[in-house]
Amino acid sequence: MKQSIIQWFRFASPQSFYPLAGRMIPWFWAAAAAFGIAGLWISFFVAPTDAQQGEGYRIIFVHVPASWMSMFIYLVMAFWAGLGLALNTRLSGMMAQSLAPTGALMAALSLWTGALWGKPMWGAWWVWDARLTSELILFFLYLGFMALQAAIDDPRRADKAGAILALVGVVNIPIIYFSVKWWNTLHQGSTINLTKAPSMAQTMLWGMLLMALCFWMYSIAVALTRVRAIILERERHTEWVKHALE
């Protein structure tokens, strides 16, 4: 038992995680490309034209995965931040820091594609509805997290301060997720539900799931690339970094 715990924590050290991340990155890029090509092919050529929304609905193949990822990445970020705060591991803070820009990108993408969809469907780029507003708050939370980390020079203190902010902001995630249920808003309810059959064509669902997997793999690949850069920057005084860069 003791042995397995030690094995599990082996990759908590930046030194051993750095090469592991380097080996994993190409695989995640490949997976992202494969899912992306399949997802885009389905979403553009296979999925039927929507009876009510015409061709314009196809933006949901980017919009929905981006929104999912923006919420999910925040949860993962808060998880790493909390782990770093509880166990005082250096790598956890680096993971949280590396996830934040990707999360902010996803939130921005979700708001932007939502606006592009909203203009022809609702007749407005932006409406002050609960889900849109809470997604905007999520975007601000990412920006606040990054600004706080950037403002504190000592990386250990920056990690811990950012962790508290991330954990406070977690309250927002269920509010976004359930906003369409709790408030009677303009934004439509979720079309995919675990408890009942999805209210959309099978091919559309496949396209959306493949795009979600593509975004997922892309996020992991980018976060790992970024965490490698952060490891090098923070550990630059150590011997192994000098060897790693040779």
Partner 1 sequence: MNAFLATVRRDLLLALRRKSEVLTAVFFFVIVTSLFPLGIGPEPVLLKKIAPGILWVAALLATLLGLPRLFSADHVDGTLEQMALSPSPLGLLVAGKILAHWLLCGLPLVLLAPVLGLQFDLDASTLGILTLALFLGTPLLSLIGAIGAALTLGVRGGGVLLALLVLPLYIPALIFGAGAVEAHIAGLDAGGHLSLLAAMLAVAAFFAPWATTAALRIALE
Q: Of 97, 102, 132, which Cα lies nearest the Cα of 228? A: 97
Nearer to partner 1, 33 or 160 (CB): 160
CB of 186 to partner 1, least distance (A): 16
CB of 236 to partner 1, least distance (A): 22
Q: Give yes or no for residue 187 binding partner 1 (CB under 8 A).
A: no
CB of 171 to partner 1, least distance (A): 8
Q: What are the phi and psi torsion angles at 77 (to 5°)?
A: -60, -45
From CA 52, how far away is CA 241, in angstroms rounded?
Answer: 57
Q: Is the dihedral of CA 202, 204, 207, 211 positive or negative?
A: negative
Binding mask 89-118 for partner 1 (x = CB under 8 A): ------------------------------
Neighbours of 150 (CB within 10 A): 11
CB of 165 to partner 1, least distance (A): 6
118-177: which residues touch partner 1 (CB under 8 A)? 133, 137, 140-141, 143-144, 147-148, 151-153, 157, 160-161, 164-165, 167-169, 175
9-68: which residues touch partner 1 (CB under 8 A)? none
As given in the structure block, the two tokens for residue 179 are 């906003």
Report the DSSP beta bridge partners of residue 54: 50
CB of 136 to partner 1, least distance (A): 8
Total chain residues near partner 1 (CB under 8 A): 21
From CA 75, how far away is CA 130, in angstroms rounded?
Answer: 20
CB of 66 to partner 1, least distance (A): 20
Region at 54 (left for phi over 0; alpha for psi -120 to 50; beta for the rest): left
- Range list of H helices, the chain: 2-9, 14-41, 60-87, 90-122, 130-151, 155-169, 172-182, 202-234, 239-244
Nearer to partner 1, 20 or 164 (CB): 164
Q: Give yes or no for residue 184 binding partner 1 (CB under 8 A).
A: no
CB of 199 to partner 1, least distance (A): 29
Give SS3 for 75: helix
Nearer to partner 1, 10 or 156 (CB): 156
Distance (Å) of CA 39 to CA 13, 137, 197: 36, 29, 21
Residue type, 28: F
Nearer to partner 1, 67 or 179 (CB): 179
Q: Which residues bind partner 1 (CB under 8 A)?
A: 85, 133, 137, 140-141, 143-144, 147-148, 151-153, 157, 160-161, 164-165, 167-169, 175
